[in-house]
Amino acid sequence: MRWFLILFSSFGLPFFLSCETIHPISLGSIYADSALNLDRNPVIVIHGMGGAKILEKGTDKVVWGAFTRDSVSFASSKGQQDLALPVWKGKFLGIEDDTYPCCPIEQINVELAGLQFSVDIYRRIMQTLGVGKYHLVLNPNVPVYKRGCSCFSFFYDWRKDIAENAIRLGKFLEEKAQFVRNQRRWAGLPDKEVKFDIVAHSMGGLVARYLLRYGTKDVLQEKNPKITWAGSKWIGRLFLVGTPNLGSTDALRALILGEEFGFFLPNVEPTLLATFPSMYQLLPSPSLDIFRDDKGRPLSIDIYSLDFWRKNHLGVFHPDQKE
């Protein structure tokens, strides 16, 4: 069936949109055969940058992940300070702050002019896995394997160092592997080595890739760390979704100009982003030749040099930025 929609522009001139009838895809029929296989690898879903809620210790108010009157106002000085990590004279202190990550953001709740609405983030991914008979494990005491395979959601503090989060992921997989072995025995399935299929979005892919390459060893201080594939003992398949394997110019732009999330949400200033170690790890790789002048000729710019930022008054060195 083909149909035409006539619209009128602000100038009173009609324009035409030719559209095909859209038929919804039946995910159930696509996954019908594989959903019957209880011997599949369990799945781990890993969110990306900004994908986990950050709560305030003591009050459990949402610092990041909701923008309502019940959450800490991100537009306020307190909200900005709560989300920032401890830094002193340009050095990351590596100490615990007054916030903690609690769970992945499936939906963001926003309140605007007294009206509340929600924006889907990762909920549809979880719903799709549910159609394939992957059941999200929320209570480890409830058996799931006779209804389908296990699915876990790994959340982490996306502000912090990628290696630190990869080490946490390794411990998480070790714990969940034991859980899956117990579930398989309960379901009458043969005992075997447990490996996970990981679906990782954005920065989450870098966390998973680090674990796959180096395991739970921190190699960031090594000049040429050896890739050992130590994480392969846990990982069967790794699906990277929008992962900046060679860095991202978006991270560079955000550290210079800040980040905007929409007209109804407050901006994140460069001074705040500069307190996140992960932002520097998301910068474009030094191996990339990405800078050009107005004639297309390569420019020698070292974005990893503090002098470059200070000399050009960029990011935290811009006069408009507050300490």
Query: Encoding tokens for residue 272?
Result: 């705040």
Q: Would you say the C-alpha torsion 315, 318, 320, 323 has a positive or negative sign?
A: positive
pLDDT of residue 150: 76
The pTM (predicted TM-score) of the whole model is 0.80
Q: In the predicted model, is pLDDT for residue 117 greater than 50? A: no
pLDDT-derived band at 164 (thresholds 50, 70, 90) equals: very high
Half-sphere exposure for 215 (CA within 13 Å, toward CB): 9
Question: Within a domain: residue 288?
Answer: yes
pLDDT of residue 43: 86
Most confident of 38-47, 108-117, 126-135, 166-175: 166-175
pLDDT-derived band at 233 (thresholds 50, 70, 90) equals: very high
pLDDT-derived band at 210 (thresholds 50, 70, 90) equals: very high
pLDDT-derived band at 266 (thresholds 50, 70, 90) equals: low
pLDDT-derived band at 135 (thresholds 50, 70, 90) equals: low
Cα distance between residue 126 and residue 155, in whole Å? 14
On the 0-12 / 13-18 / 19+ scale of CB atoms within 10 A, 230 is middle
Cα distance between residue 303 and residue 276, in whole Å? 17
CB 231 within 8 A of CB 170: yes
Residue ranges in the chain assigned as alpha helix (H): 27-30, 32-35, 77-83, 123-131, 162-186, 203-214, 249-257, 270-273, 277-281, 306-311
Question: Within a domain: residue 191?
Answer: no
Question: Within a domain: residue 17?
Answer: no
pLDDT of residue 16: 35
Lowest mean pLDDT segment, chosen from 95-109, 111-125, 197-211: 111-125
Question: Within a domain: residue 46?
Answer: no
Lowest mean pLDDT segment, chosen from 15-29, 100-114, 192-206, 225-239: 15-29
How are beta strands 2-8 and 14-20 bridged, if at all? antiparallel
- Helix, strand, or coil (residue 178): helix
pLDDT of residue 221: 87
More confidently predicted of 186 and 128: 186
pLDDT > 70 in the chain, percent:
66
More confidently predicted of 32 and 249: 249
Q: In the predicted model, is pLDDT for residue 80 greater than 50? A: yes
Most confident of 141-155, 204-218, 299-313: 204-218
Q: In the predicted model, is pLDDT for residue 120 greater than 50? A: yes
User: Domain total for the chain?
Assistant: 1
Q: In the predicted model, is pLDDT for residue 271 greater than 80? A: yes
pLDDT of residue 36: 59
Find the domain containing 279 and state its range: 249-317
pLDDT-derived band at 10 (thresholds 50, 70, 90) equals: very low
Lowest mean pLDDT segment, chosen from 32-46, 191-205, 264-278, 291-305: 32-46
Mean pLDDT on 229-255? 94
The average confidence (pLDDT) of the chain is 78
Cα distance between residue 208 and residue 286, in whole Å? 22
Q: In the predicted model, is pLDDT for residue 200 greater than 70? A: yes
Cα distance between residue 219 and residue 212, in whole Å? 13
How many angstroms from the chain centroid is the CA of residue 135? Answer: 21
Mean pLDDT on 268-276? 89
pLDDT of residue 267: 76
Lowest mean pLDDT segment, chosen from 19-23, 176-180, 233-237: 19-23
pLDDT of residue 14: 37
